[in-house]
Structure 1
């Protein structure tokens, strides 16, 4: 007879959102919470297990806002309240400022719209001298060919991602949450359903154990699509990142830099204080891995790889050559694919499943998931307790109608590279780092 383990709330996924959800529920007094994940914590494939992520404050939400503007303003206000004031989160937020810039005309129009939407005046930047004055002398030595943008001097910056991820996990454990993170004991192979399939009863792991629960929350990031039919609402998409090693002296010079984000080039953030590595990413519409599923539908299936396509490395080195040419040929110390799940409209999907009882989905970070992490736990806890704010509930609802006829290759407003989503199966050359 198969063994069964009982719990009140079962969370599938111990990444950024899973940890935030567990923490918020435990803080509200919920007990008997179990989190399952197939990788040791912190998972090497979790998008949140990263040096840093961009974070930015937003305008106050208004009743006159469109639903989309209201969603982003409300979400950001809740998240940034935690990043700035919650004792658990506030040490991880660095208000260094933020520069949004572009080279191409279409990408620059995005920068203009961004500047116009801000409630504070931003300083316009045009050309080498303007960009160089945003950072200490000797940092930005590039020529910035064609670069234009705007500088937000405060109210934005970055968060120490892996530190915050660990803090959420550790505090949740202190509050009684049980984490099972192991390739057999924690890896969920399937959801458990009632005989007539109208309710989820829990999940079965690779060791054959059935974990039953009165409430199951599916929050497994890009892998969520492998456990439930989301009716094309999710598209697992990958981006590429790299670390550049710096000396102790260089790290000192490059401390407290504003984030420089080139909409059609990429971005970099100041080095971490422990390993003296600077993270950079090239900007592009993303990579997917298209595979036919059992129903004959084309979908993207994520896979782990601590290598990046050579073309991505070339784009990163172009970013460096235009901004910090002193690093343009320096060997990378670390690279990897970083997966997230795009919804069709890039609004998160957090809702009780309308057709299956006892199941809440919390997915669809769409490239914005980590900054929102403190808010995600609050929203999901509100959903569990049936008190999620109505306009948020409407925006984050289960909405397969938005994905009818969805184009798997939709760039979703992103710029960079050749302006196309790229098939990972077409990649011919990969970096040899990590091999």
Structure 2
């Protein structure tokens, strides 16, 4: 059963970044927030917390690790050990805190652009230097450039910051690629930090595999940072989990300062437990149906109205990576689109040099809004 997005009138009542950054005549399809109502189980959990004033500090022991382990078992075919997890405020904080402890200041950390723009800043915040190894375009999709990663590790890079599934391309990395990456990390004594925030949004049949599940090597070198925030639209509530799968990596995460854990939001923890519960599975299934329809609708709209655009239907998530180079609207076509079409998209060049001429579009909205956005953009031709 499809989850239906809220109407534009309802959405404009929201006060989050997506609905306050631009004037009311702009359709916002930029930041990674979705336009759907909360899963009912989350609404109930938050309403109960407000009713009883459950608004204090997050507890040192919560049901979150067990809830995530059960969710991962049901939805991802993987059963991580709750004893080897630790909460934190968000995925970005988890990435920075782990990187700080697996590299030395000035070390290089590999990213695979085009990639989520904050990765560049998070690596700098951790005291490291970005090492770019772009994804390989196979003509049919994208994949990790394992030869390039090998060269970078051989030249001294000490960690890989992996995006799995990948943002902005929506690529689900193959088991073979992840296994090979883990073996390279073992060979060169490097760590792999895997951002798996979009994992619950992998479409059925795409073969998503958590990095820590692929091999003993991955469990030895890997750290995953996960959250309910993208799938269930909970970013403002501040909750994520750092997940490990070996005693050595778990020991490193346990040794992080207590403040890393205490910055977790109480509402974020309560909402995440509700999101990961079996009661929220039907809602998530309905969301995946809506996103599947929208990712295909976008392909049809572009073919009809903007045939010059190049777009591959993503394996996961609600973000579309669209190449508008053929339209000759410059390296950053989103600027013209915002100014003249009143549609806000994410700037392609922010994802790396590979983003020149590209935009990222958030299709986690209604078919009506998505259709109007593409029609507005097409009118610029």
Q: TM-score if structure 2 supplies the norm length?
A: 0.22
When you count strand as a share of all residues, which structure comes out higher? 1
Q: TM-score if structure 1 supplies the norm length?
A: 0.20
Higher-Rg structure is 1
